[in-house]
Structure 1
């Protein structure tokens, strides 16, 4: 387990932590949030406990067509972002051994 300390303005810290959570090789175990008064502005301090799992680079994306057929796509370094409720964007690397 790795302890990660992130400090700064909330509008800078939150996107960083969101990006960290999207990475499949980083497993967020626990986080603690504290508000701090630093440099006259309200800053935040977040302590994250994470586990680095480099073996999780390959993940399977499964899609179901309107007819019920299942399509499996193996993807490397997959990042999944939910842009609105029920709508997700998948970003990663796909390889074709027959291409």
Structure 2
């Protein structure tokens, strides 16, 4: 293997590892994300962090993937679900059960 091929292979491995690690990050508004945010000093939060925390983490019924959130979405007519709700329901209420 030439030095250029070795560098290219190493670059591909590092890129793959980076993609895998970012794929594991909790989605803003999910229970895991809310727990992580609690540990971060509020002064370090972005404006989007503040909005997401207020919208999803203060009440269990609004925390994406919480039992109450899944129950509330079950009661909502499917034709009224947003595309995001469909994806989140599949990820947090079906797959994680």
Which TM-score band (shorter chain)? under 0.3
Structure scoring higher RCO (CA < 8 A, sep ≥ 6) equals 1
When you count helix as a share of all residues, which structure comes out higher?
2
